[in-house]
Amino acid sequence: MTAACVEARHLIGGRWIGAERTARRWNPARGDELVSVAPVGDRNIVDEAVAAARASAPAWASMTGEARGAVLARTAGALRARASEAATLIAREEGKTLAEASGEVGRAAAMLEFYASLGRQPLGSTLPSADGSMHLYTTREPVGVVGLVTPWNFPIAIPVWKAAPALVAGNTVVVKPASIVPGSMHLLAECFEEAGLPAGVLNVVHGSGGEAGQALVEHPEVDAISFTGSGAVGRRINITAAERMARVQLELGGKNGMLVMPDADMELAADLCARGAFGLTGQACTATSRVVVMEGDEQRFLDALVARTMQIRIGDPLDPDTTMGPVVTEQQLRTDVSWIERALADGAELVSGGVASGSFLTPTILRRVEPEHAIAREEVFGPVLAVMVARSPEEAMRIMNGTEYGLSAGIVTSDLAAAMEFSRTIDAGVIKVNRLTTGTDVNAPFGGMRASSNGLFREQGFSATDFFTRVKTTYVGF
Ligand code: TAP
């Protein structure tokens, strides 16, 4: 049976709109299977979407938080009802395994439910005043029209973790999803529509980043931009937004390290590193991409890591036995391979993996990596793990903090003092003790430090509404 192809459309002011110019996405695991076709949006379509968002903003902002939250709760229900279809589509379009895709859909629904409940939570505060005849309070108002620019690696969860807090806070949005995963965003937009979201409150424009994305970021009627993606694009967006004084949130790349202490359970360390590095094909911003082990522990750790990695089964994401899917595009695969070649040229040694075949890359472990090597510092965004050796705890901390990034960092130890010292010393927005560098709770703030973020606002949890609201202070004399 031929799997269905999703005919994605722009969603503008409640209307589904196609175009003559379209882009096609083929299943990365089965090159001949068309997964989705989407219109290629230009500046005019972005203008229409922003106008629709602007027109619907007053009515949406004047609804109660409870009523807005109820729409999000119904969206969660609609997504859960289509969970299996959504997971299959993500697996076919983006390439993560069915189990990973199901996890993503469940997480997106949980996120919608969390922000639905925020419609009933206080946003603002009451303050004591120096004037005894004064009622002094703050309220948080929506920012207005928000542009959401999202990457391909979580094609449903990331649009949700931006749109849900934006909407519950009373903003209207225009989403520009990554151009290689339009079908997943289309399904999500259908869930919002089915939940009764008023027309124009959430608009979707498909198309390339250079055209539709840039037009959205430059648009004078877009009050704020929330972007997740690469550092290079993020920096450009930062400059563009600053020029027109638009609020901007940037969540960018990472080079996440795991420190394995001498007292660590090596089986646990190997399991965390293998799943953190090769789960999601390593295509996660919080993927483990570096490991630091203490001198004398390296061989013991590598033996356990290689044994654990051998259990990974590469294949078609729809096969239930598959535990690692393909690399997302041929171009990304070439990039991954070129990072491996560069590492070997710099003096690293291949422990296992490094074999590219079709759109698949075997889980790759490199040893004899030095902190100054490019593979120790630059984001690969693929299933490649660099193992480094430290001669002292101080050197280990220096290596862990030795890249420009600061997204997620982990330590494996049973020494509480070492764990606490790690948490205090490491410059990263997320610290994990005896857990994967990937994965977070929906109610906890998430974001990076240093080059992993512009650091002004956190996503997820209660903090997300900081970005999507403005504070107003009201003095009522009586
Ligand atoms: P990017 O190439 O940066 O693309 C992200 C989004 O920006 C896409 O929608 C892209 O459109 C769009 N875009 C590209 N150029 C643009 C421009 N000039 N103006 C406005 N928008 C533009 O990233 P990616 O390859 O999709 O995702 C991988 C990167 O995202 C990695 O660096 C990863 O670490 C990062 N990431 C970070 C996080 C967090 S939370 N920190 C989470 C996931 C991913 P097109 O799709 O058309 O290019």
Q: How confident is the model at residue 3 (pLDDT cuts 50, 70, 90)?
A: confident
Residue 1 has pLDDT above 70, yes or no: no
Residue nearest to atom 13 of ligand 1 (CA): 209
Closest C-alpha to 449, from 172, 190, 250: 250
- Residue keyed to tokens 């080079």: 255
- Residue keyed to tokens 């606490």: 420
Q: What's the CA angle centered on 322, arms 316 and 323, to 5 degrees? A: 125
d(CA 428, CA 430): 6
| pLDDT tens-digit map of 333-360 | 999 999 999 999 999 999 999 999 999 9
Q: Is 335 in the pocket of ligand 1 (CB under 6 A)?
A: no
Q: What is the rounded average pLDDT for all residues in the chain?
A: 97
Residue nearest to atom 16 of ligand 1 (CA): 209
Instruction: Identify whether the C-beta of residue 108 lies closer than 8 Å to the C-beta of residue 152.
Output: no
Q: Is 296 in the pocket of ligand 1 (CB under 6 A)?
A: no
- Report how far ligand 1's centroid is from the alpha carbon of 310 (Å): 31
What's the mean pLDDT in 291-303?
98
What's the mean pLDDT in 50-62?
98
pTM across the whole model? 0.97
188 Cβ contact list (under 8 Å, min separation 6): 79, 86, 108, 156, 159, 160
β-strands 449-450, 10-12 pairing: unpaired
Task: Give the position, in ligand 1's atom list, of the atom nearest the Cα of 231.
Answer: 32
How many other CB atoms sit within 10 Å of the CB of residue 458?
A: 20
Which tokens hold the place of 76? 């969660």
d(CA 387, CA 369): 6
Instruction: Identify whether the C-beta of residue 386 lies closer than 8 Å to the C-beta of residue 289.
Output: yes
| pLDDT tens-digit map of 74-110 | 999 999 999 999 999 999 999 999 999 999 999 999 9
| Residues labelled catalytic | 251, 285
Q: How confident is the model at residue 256 (pLDDT cuts 50, 70, 90)?
A: very high
What structural domains and CATH numbers belong to the chain?
Answer: 6-252+453-477 (3.40.605.10), 256-433 (3.40.309.10)
Which tokens hold the place of 225? 């931009």
Task: Give the position, in ligand 1's atom list, of the atom nearest the Cα of 452.
Answer: 41
- Report how far ligand 1's centroid is from the alpha carbon of 229 (Å): 3
246 Cβ contact list (under 8 Å, min separation 6): 222, 223, 224, 225
Q: DSSP for 179-195, please give it.
A: TT-HHHHHHHHHHHHHT
The H-or-E segment that residue 171 falls in is: none
Pick from 156, 230, 286, 384 the residue to mutate for probing ligand 1's pocket: most ligand atoms within 8 Å of its CB. Answer: 230
Q: What is the pLDDT of residue 122?
A: 86
Q: Measure CA 389 to chain center.
A: 30
| pLDDT tens-digit map of 416-464 | 999 999 999 999 999 999 999 999 999 999 999 999 999 899 999 999 9
The conformational region for residue 11 under phi > 0 = left, psi -120 to 50 = alpha, else beta, is beta
186 Cβ contact list (under 8 Å, min separation 6): 6, 8, 9, 36, 38, 204
Residue nearest to atom 34 of ligand 1 (CA): 253
Q: What is the pLDDT of residue 2?
A: 58
Q: What is the pLDDT of residue 323?
A: 98
Q: DSSP for 255-293, please give it.
A: -EEEEE-TTS-HHHHHHHHHHHHHGGGG-STT-EEEEEE
d(CA 28, CA 316): 9
Pick from 42, 148, 228 the residue to mutate for probing ligand 1's pocket: most ligand atoms within 8 Å of its CB. Answer: 228
DSSP letter (8 states) at residue 8:
-
Residue nearest to atom 10 of ligand 1 (CA): 209
Q: What's the CA angle centered on 176, arms 171 and 177, to 5 degrees? A: 120
- Report how far ligand 1's centroid is from the alpha carbon of 59 (Å): 32
- Report how far ligand 1's centroid is from the alpha carbon of 435 (Å): 27
Task: Give the position, in ligand 1's atom list, of the atom nearest the Cα of 216.
Answer: 20
User: Which amino acid type is present at position 143?
Assistant: V
d(CA 258, CA 276): 9
d(CA 26, CA 448): 32
Q: What is the pLDDT of residue 123?
A: 87
| pLDDT tens-digit map of 220-255 | 999 999 999 999 999 999 999 999 999 999 999 999
β-strands 469-477, 134-142 pairing: antiparallel
Residue nearest to atom 19 of ligand 1 (CA): 214
Q: Is 236 in the pocket of ligand 1 (CB under 6 A)?
A: yes
290 Cβ contact list (under 8 Å, min separation 6): 255, 256, 257, 258, 369, 376, 385, 386, 387, 388, 399, 403
| pLDDT tens-digit map of 180-219 | 999 999 999 999 999 999 999 999 999 999 999 999 999 9
Q: What is the pLDDT of residue 369?
A: 98
Question: Exposure of 194 by Cβ count < 10 A (0-12 exposed, 13-18 middle, 19+ buried)?
Answer: middle
